[in-house]
Chain A
């Protein structure tokens, strides 16, 4: 199948959506997603990720704001004509239809010829490595297989954009990782615009071209995984994505963020730009090294050190110098 489609860009402007509760589920979302890119919405539970996805798909109507796909405002376009593929968190396979009929559904709606439908269904199932499963009922599939059917069903209609709501949420860790790899390869091959929801940050870092971090119905920061990790806009982003030590800024105003792998302890701290007095709380063996927990004037600090680091051998309660290079300190906006 020639699934090499180039997706369309998505532009969201001032989206507001309230379910009538005190705080709106979407409190004014602005977001640009490039054509063919993989954009992940990341955020805590209840931050509005699903709502945003459903609003883009057209299942919910926004109170205010604009959704443009390509150059077209899609507000007046009914769901059935939007040509958006959606993979639901619980897959939402039609339980009364076989796998093949599930995948064929969207093509039947587009009134394609029967032979064409059969050809495309077969190709789509092959794409997700489910050749030969067409005759089965969704009930007879494992979770990962169902997930791939849902993906094939969404892809086969060659959507302008593909929306996925925590599609791997129900799977175990090994299967998740296997499918993550497949998903990334697939995205490279088909080049569709993908908007992906997860609250697993490793998954977000692994898959995404860009990550949009959401909190309380707002997008806090958008950028590449590296940008979000190394240049967090504020304390929320810094602590949400990966681990982060918060230390008083050397200037005395505000705080800086410091990643544990950039945090120097013991002898190494002596050569650091900034040196602080700390106390060792514990050193836990993690296999690849030790994870040092310490305090610096009451603040918890975590550092990752190699297996042969002498700091790991100290007794808890011992004094432990802590330090970092100025270039590694991340300025936090507020």
Chain B
């Protein structure tokens, strides 16, 4: 998302940073006004080929063969769909999915305005802190965040102890394993998708339009309703669409933080595959989920364009950005700031809680711990199941980064060399893995790989992760290619360099920041994934997130918290790397 600060983001559909100020990445001819020469064109198609092969074999084929099962064996049957429509249980699950997604979206938008306002109207130092407060959870694995929330919210959790401690309640309040748990968890995971474009939209708001409204007699509330709201609405709506699209496919958070009444469609899909072994029915549900997701995606593309998915608010700014003037805040402004600070605390709380907690020494979770020790970290590295899982995660992530960087970069370079009329279509197809709910890909790959023996190996999982990660590399490299002047290439070739020499000495160094950023995203995509790992690994090949997931679903022990602490450390490290890369790029 394009925000004035360096825009790191974590890998989820809308999360890839664009080079600030660079508009659409779709459909911009690489060589303006220059015809694409045939050899160059052939090279372009060759560059696209590897990623196309991977996406066909490990994305299109598994997803389509899965969906095919939904229409019966042999002929065309709508039996499964009829069952979904007729059985009240399934109807209510669809309704639950939509309701939870809608509520989450609403919460995200309502909570984002105060934070975005706060970020836009404070001094540069506090703003930098707030940007970290928003981005750090954004980057952190949603499994880690969900774990932390459970620790905070559960019956004998931190919040309940606090409430009972100050005497506000006499017995534990049920915050988790019900609707409030799901909403808290999902809102926390998805809120940055609204905060970031909204903040960008607020900064793009011209201070003088606000002042003009005031000068014409509008009070603070009227200014908000009649000027600020309409001018920032596109940013908020774009973010909300992404949130809703993601929410309907959510699996981990509702499974861990909800109760039976909050069962969402992804859980039913997984359940039908794992327990009922009813593939046809799972496929029919997947078809519905995918259909809904694609419809939202198409609406989004219509309304905002594909590039908006990667670049936040696009409005060009004239004049001074919206900020606080020496006149100070109105009463409403003060209230908003207080609310914004509370939301900021909400955003950072799970991360702040994990660290001290992981440093306790008692076998029971306590916050703050009575005494500090590295006991559980030591335990993590000394217990073979944890240590092996970590090693396996790193292996898979290494394979994924290598595959995704090669395929994504080649495809991004290739895209600029094929005729312009093909580009938008190919680009849309290549980013689809970012949009399709992961559960569908997981079940599809499981179905496809099971007979081949790839399930339970790190190779199968790495292939799946590469499908998810290559589009991120593709997008970041595309963005950095925009700053690559094609005449540099012609100049180098004209000076006698071979294409390979040109690529090595001119092209790759220019787009290296994009490749590095893509590699960071690829790593995180793989390192944080739970859903694919649930289906594609077994007890001998499980990854760190899968092991954590199993623990969290059972009971959270201090080693899990230590693992969460480790993942946060890795995340912070990667965030810094990305920050350095984007700094250098800017």
Give the B-binding residues of A (Cβ under 8 A).
17, 19, 54, 57-61, 78-86, 88-90, 92-96, 105-106, 109-110, 153-154, 157
Contact = CB atoms under 8 A, between A and B. Distances in A.
A191 to B, nearest CB: 20
B325 interface: yes
A80 B212 contact: no
Interface in B210-236: 211-219, 222, 226-227, 230-231
A154 B213 CA distance: 10
Contacts of A80: 214-215, 217-219
Given A58-B215, A90-B318, A92-B212, 5 more contacts: A58-B327, A92-B209, A94-B231, A95-B231, A109-B218
B213 A105 contact: yes
Secondary structure at chain A's binding surface: helix, strand, loop or mixed? Answer: loop
B211 A153 contact: no
Interface string B317-345: 01100000111100000000000000000
A104 B327 CA distance: 26
Contact of B208 (A58, A90, A153): A90
Nearest to B219: A80
Contact of B327 (A59, A81, A96): A59
A10 to B, nearest CB: 15
A82 to B, nearest CB: 8
B206 interface: yes
A57 B230 contact: no
17 contacts: A54-B211, A58-B215, A59-B325, A60-B327, A61-B327, A61-B328, A79-B327, A80-B215, A81-B217, A86-B215, A89-B319, A90-B208, A94-B212, A96-B230, A105-B213, A153-B216, A157-B217
Nearest to A104: B216
Nearest to A18: B326
B217 A88 contact: no
B105 to A, nearest CB: 23
A257 B227 CA distance: 52
A109 B325 contact: no
A105 B216 contact: yes
Nearest to B210: A92
Interface in B395-410: none
A57 B210 CA distance: 13
Interface centre among A79, A93, A96 (most CB of B within 10 A): A79
Given A58-B327, A90-B206, A84 B215 contact: yes
Interface in B172-230: 206, 208-209, 211-219, 222, 226-227, 230
B373 to A, nearest CB: 47
A54 B211 CA distance: 10
A88 B206 CA distance: 11
A106 B219 CA distance: 11
B217 A106 contact: yes
A55 B58 CA distance: 64
B211 A59 contact: yes
B215 A94 contact: no
A19 B215 CA distance: 22
B142 to A, nearest CB: 36
